[in-house]
Chains A and B, each alone.
Chain A
Amino acid sequence: MSAATTGQPTAGQRLAGFGRMLVSPRGAVFLLLIVLLVAIALLNPSFAEPSQFIRFVQRVAPVAIVAIGQYFVIVGGEFDLSMGSVVTAQVVIAGNLIGQDEAKSLPVLAFMLVFGAFIGLINGLIVTLLKVPSFIATLGMMLALLGATLYWTGGAATGNPADGFREIGRGGIRGLPVIEILPWSVVVLAVVLLVAIWFARRPFGRTIIALGDNPTTARYSGTRNWWVKTSTFIISSLSATVAGVLLVGYAGVHPSVGRGYEFTAITAVVLGGVVLGGGRGWVVAAAAGAFALEALFTLLNFAGVPSTYRDAVQGAIIIIAVAYAATTVRARRKGRALEAPTIPPTPSPEPAPQTSPAPAEEQDAAASARPAPIPSTQRADNETKGGS
């Protein structure tokens, strides 16, 4: 772990470390994503063209942004089921309040952000101060917000925001050499992802993970639990707002836009190896989970599978992915032991065979787990409990 060991890893060690990462639950989603993308490219070679690929990224952007927001809530140990309704509400707000008046775009955008933060604040306060389980609190918010939105519109598609506003989700920077057009959605996604990575590395982001892992220790180490937890709900609602802004342009104004996004987002996050119950996971993997999910749908589309089977395949895939993460590598028990060598590819005590990453992994996990028992008896208990 010291500078000396990480300073000069040979190419082979680096490769072994990379292989380990791909096979570990933490990196499996990237492997899945690569496999899916290659499969799509084989079925439909034009998909690999940059212009087509950037369209794919544009399509995934809203889901990925919602997944990034959901990541913070889940890693903090809670659920946010109200995200889909927030997306719907924001889409309808944009459609009705902006109208054809371009000058209103900015004030309404500010209002939407405030509204999103407000919804998140209410969710968070209900969870933290009233001690209502987040599943129930956000379920109530989901019903209430969707009901209120539908009541406002009468259940029909109403409103059509100005074209300038819709450009955010629909248009982009044109006339670029390789990709022809760089959609604004992709730019927004990149910015959101970078901010999320930066935020997750900040002390506050680490506090969220600590809180999700063990609220009691987090409290004893001086965390204001209620505020940290509330802020995760604010983040998730804000990300739903951003996704809503993109969807106004991309999908149009309709009360059914955003329906089911909460479960898609949770699926994506879990696919990214984030443990439900909190404390473990990586925000980039969560975003990659969204990409993998959408790539899967694209693949099924190209392969000519009837759209009605999409759900069945999605269900099977998430079960398999989570079962893989939970059983193969025993992620919960040895999570720490496993992750430690993954971040800097330190050489393991026994020289690991580099050709086959899977046995190397087991050996490595066994080796680093051996000194663990004495300090981590309590911890092992927590991990099995938290993950089940």
Chain B
Amino acid sequence: MSAATATSARRGRRRRLDASLIVGIALVGVIIIGAILVASVGRNFFSAGNIRDILTGMSVLGFVAIGQTLVILCASLDLSVPYVVSLSSLIAADMMAGDPANIPVAVLAVLVVAALIGLANGLIVTKLKVNGFIATLGTGLIIKGYLDTNYKGTSGEVPWEFQLIGATGIGPVPVSTLIMLAVALAGAFFLARTRTGNHMFAVGGDEQVARLSGIRTARPVIVAHMLCSITAAFAGLLLASRLGVGSPTVGTQGGYDLLSIAAVVLGGTLLMGGRGSIWGTIGGVAIFAVVDNVMSVMQVNPFLKDVVRGIVIVAAVAVYTSRSLDRRRPRFGSGAAEPERPGDQDAAPPAVAHEKEASA
């Protein structure tokens, strides 16, 4: 088993590099086109202010998309993130109540609540066997009901010290983006170096095979959902620090559920799970940020922005899928893997399956 995971991990790493590379090329292409377009209206794309705008635009969606990557790697989805974002911003702002002394408690409370929501998501997906799409749609609606009932508008007050996180920067790089990149680094390390991280690829790739290889298939999925909710809570904290208040609609207005999924897929992660990378996702988020920024600079009609966004999403993913099509083949169609499967299943599964059911 260890040999198998080792080779698959090695192969996975090579592929991941390729996927990230394609996203990187796409990003460079978008930046070049964007720079030309921006230059055509007489502005400088690479000015410090503009770069700061782009990086600022990346940070919130980046947080959400990092968590979403983990969930999608496990072949699940998280549609509850926008409501977790809103809820986090409200809890943070309410608990801080303008007093800097409350910041640690408030942040801790937000993270605990988010982790509990993620735990609920993960348990519903793994133990109740509800499809991730439906489970998180359901928990999202439950949180939405809570928010609509208890909050009529913005609430709470964020102290100035906490607002600094969203406002300051080192040179042209905002602190919030640095934190986001640090989280991305931690996420990439988690996926590459920890056991649970490796198991996420296995479970997402094929739950049956993972189970037969002796992996507890539930745990990585639950962990992924918890981490996803926690990164969504980071996004909520960041938004609270930027707005100075908590808002019940800030998450849904950003459309973070669908946009984060789009960014993850744009970054080369398979929607069916099992393959992808955090850095690809960051690349996807950067592409969105650049496209948005170019449209803002060129003062495109806000409704047309959505049209462009939709076309960019589909076109980018289409380019990506058509390129990686050959690379995907061997995994499913190679002659070596196919004949082994039936015999393997006849012999092994009954005992293992029973054992698994007992333990799960």
Q: Is B148's beta carbon under 8 Å from chain A? A: yes
The smallest C-beta distance from A338 to any residue of chain B, in angstroms, reads 16
- Contact between A388 and B129, CB atoms less than 8 A apart: yes
The smallest beta-carbon distance between A378 and chain B, in angstroms, is 7
Per-position contact with B for A92-130: 1 when CB-CB < 8 Å, else 0? 000000000000000000000000000000000010001
Q: Say if the beta carbon of B306 comes within 8 Å of chain A.
A: yes
Give B111-155 as 1s and 0s: 1 = Cβ < 8 Å from A's Cβ atoms.
000000000000010001111011101111111111011000000
Instruction: Check: A303 CB closer than 8 A to any chain B CB.
Output: no
Interface contact B301-A151, CB-CB below 8 Å: yes
Contact of B262 among A136, A155, A323, A387 (CB under 8 A): A136
Does B321 interact with chain A (Cβ within 8 Å)?
Answer: yes
B139 touches A147 (CB 8 A): no
The distance in angstroms between the C-alpha atoms of A323 and B321, with both chains bound, is 33
Chain B: how many interface residues by the 8 Å CB criterion?
49
Contact digits for A10-30, partner B, Cβ 8 Å, 1 yes 0 no: 000000000000000000000
Closest chain A residue, CB of each to CB of B312: A140
B261 on interface, CB distance cutoff 8 Å: yes
- Interface positions, chain B 287-337, Cβ under 8 Å from A, are 301, 303-311, 313-314, 317-318, 321-322, 325
**Among the listed B137, B146, B313, B322, which residue makes an inter-chain contact with A318, where contact means beta carbons less than 8 Å apart?**
B137
Q: How far is the CA of A320 from the CA of B180 in the complex (A)?
A: 36
Q: How far is the CA of A270 from the CA of B132 in the complex (A)?
A: 12
A1 CB within 8 Å of chain B: no
Contact call A377/B345, Cβ cutoff below 8 A = yes
Q: Is A5 an interface residue (CB 8 A)?
A: no
A318/B304 in contact, CB under 8 A: no
A319-B262 CB under 8 A given contacts A131-B321, A140-B310, A385-B208? no
The docked-state distance in angstroms from the alpha carbon of A312 to that of B313 is 31
Residues of A within 8 A of B141 (CB): 311-312, 314-315, 318
Interface size on A, residues (CB 8 A): 52
Q: Does A142 contact B (CB under 8 A)?
A: yes
In the bound complex, how far is the Cα of B207 from the Cα of A126, in angstroms? 28
CA distance A263 to B128 in the complex (A): 21
**CB distance B271 to A388 under 8 Å?**
no
Q: How far apart are the CA atoms of A137 and B345 in the complex, in Å?
A: 36
Q: How far, in Å, is B219 (CB) from chain A's closest CB? A: 15
Q: Are A135 and B311 in contact (CB under 8 A)?
A: no
B333: nearest chain-A partner, CB-CB: A216
The reply to whether B310 and A136 contact each other, CB–CB distance below 8 Å, is no
Which residues of A have CB within 8 Å of B238?
none
Contacts of B143 in A (CB 8 A): 312
Say yes or no: A140-B311 contact (C-beta < 8 A), given A132-B318, A151-B303, A318-B134.
yes
In the complex, residue of chain B having the shortest beta-carbon distance to the beta carbon of A79: B133
**Chain B residues engaging chain A, CB cutoff 8 angstroms:** 75, 124, 128-131, 133-135, 137-146, 148-149, 206-208, 258, 261-262, 265, 271, 301, 303-311, 313-314, 317-318, 321-322, 325, 342, 345-346
Given contacts A150-B303, A151-B301, 20 further A-B pairs with CB under 8 A are A130-B321, A131-B318, A132-B318, A133-B271, A140-B313, A141-B314, A143-B310, A144-B307, A144-B310, A147-B308, A151-B307, A266-B133, A270-B134, A276-B134, A308-B145, A309-B145, A312-B141, A318-B137, A319-B138, A378-B342
Give 9 A-B contacts (CB < 8 Å), ordered by A residue. A132-B321, A135-B265, A141-B314, A144-B311, A145-B310, A147-B309, A267-B137, A377-B345, A387-B129
